[in-house]
Structure 1
């Protein structure tokens, strides 16, 4: 009684764990669908990296689901359940390959995002530095109107500055110093923004790369460790071949028995 009770309890526990595993796989499927639809591969590198982040961040859900479903190898399963196990075993390999592909796509996306950030920063720097170059040209011109334009530009850049507009020579010296100062500050600020964006990109992508790589390894290991689900048919074939060989040997041995039985009659 105790053995049958423990066996029944083990079966119920295994069924509950498998039910939870199937539920987790369905939740993972919903997450993957939400991340992938609508697909924009090759069009938007930000979307590609974001999709990799969602994939890798939710990878524990299908991993735990797979482990729960495969729990209890020796516990009784229906024929449909055994077939489904074989499908899920190959699905784990497919998921491992998908994570590797997504990892490669994420690396390409990060490179393209970094290039776009650099191009955008360079474009902004070119536009803003062009204004400083115009102010420098105005200083070179002795016309008072050009000097006034340079003074207005510096006042917009540094509202708290006090310019001596009554003395053109001193004003020109002040403006030259302020233009050089603001230009250097602008270059430094743009470089800091580029470095900050690059660090943020590396931080985000590096975490996603690591999670995707670990997920791929785990799924491939699940596929490797569940080879028993894929070898059921082969075992049956081997058993069938052995039974067939046994029947052939019985048939081959039958005539020898008959000859042994008929020999005494001939002697008589």
Structure 2
């Protein structure tokens, strides 16, 4: 009586876990659709990179769902349920390959993003340098009155700067030195911003690459450990053959014993 109760409890527990597993797989399907649709592969490296992050961020959901569905190998399943298990086993392999592919896509996307960031930073730096060069030319060619106005404007923006407005030649030198100083500061800020962006990109990329590798490895392990779902029919055939052979042996007449009995007589 206790054995039947324990068996029924085990079946109920297995069914509940499988139900939860199917629910998690549906949630994973929703997450994958949200991350991948509409697809922008090759077109947008930022989309590719962030999509990798979304997929690996939700990878525990399908992994746990698959494990729950496969729980209880010995528990009775319908023929339809066995076909679903076979499909999910191959799906684990496909997802493992998919995460490996997304890993390489993410690497390519990070390289392209870094190149775009460098190009944008170089464009901003060139624009700023061109503006400073234009200001320098204006200072060299302008008259003393305009030069004095430029000095007053700079003093308003930077009260700590003291310019000799009574000496036009010295004022030009001071203005050129101040512009050169600001030019170097802007170049330094752009370079620091570029390096900071690169470090953040590398940090995020390494995290997502590691998660993609782990997800692919676990999914491949699930596929490898669920061979019983793909070879279930073969097991039955082998079992029936062995049972048939044992029955044949059991039904084979013992001629040797009969001959011995006849000799004794």
TM-score (ref. length: structure 2) = 0.87
**Does the CA-based 8 Å contact 2:147-2:168 persist in structure 1?**
no
Matched with 1:212 is: 212
Query: Is 1:53 paired with 2:57?
Result: no
Matched with 1:77 is: 77
Residues 153 and 215 (structure 1 numbering): CA distance in 2 closer, same or farther, change over 3 Å?
Answer: farther
Residues 116 and 156 (structure 1 numbering): CA distance in 2 closer, same or farther, change over 3 Å?
Answer: farther
SS for the counterpart of 1:13 is: helix
How far 1:242 sits from its partner (Å)? 4.6
SS for the counterpart of 1:43 is: coil
User: In 2, distance between residues paired with 1:150 and 1:126?
Assistant: 27
Matched with 1:266 is: none
How far 1:21 sits from its partner (Å)? 0.3
How far 1:76 sits from its partner (Å)? 1.4
Matched with 1:131 is: 131
Query: Is 1:192 paired with 2:192?
Result: yes
**Does the CA-based 8 Å contact 1:138-1:146 persist in structure 2?**
no
**Does the CA-based 8 Å contact 2:56-2:215 persist in structure 1?**
yes
How far 1:231 sits from its partner (Å)? 1.2
Higher mean alpha-carbon deviation, 37-46 vs 79-88, is at 79-88
| Count of residue pairs the alignment pairs up | 256
How far 1:162 sits from its partner (Å)? 4.2
SS for the counterpart of 1:46 is: helix
User: In 1, distance between residues paired with 2:48 and 2:148?
Assistant: 47
Matched with 2:143 is: 144
TM-score (ref. length: structure 1) = 0.86
For 1:65-214, list aligned pairs within 5 A.
65-141=65-141, 143-144=142-143, 148=147, 151=150, 155=154, 158-160=157-159, 161-214=161-214
CA-atom RMSD in angstroms: 2.9
How far 1:151 sits from its partner (Å)? 3.1
Residues 157 and 82 (structure 1 numbering): CA distance in 2 closer, same or farther, change over 3 Å?
Answer: farther
SS for the counterpart of 2:223 is: helix
For structure 1, the 5+ residue unaligned runs are 261-268
Write the deviation string for residues 85-144 of structure 1: whole angstroms up to 9, x where unpaired: 111111111110111011110110000000000000000000001111122333444x41
How far 1:153 sits from its partner (Å)? 11
SS for the counterpart of 1:80 is: helix
**Does the CA-based 8 Å contact 1:138-1:149 persist in structure 2?**
no
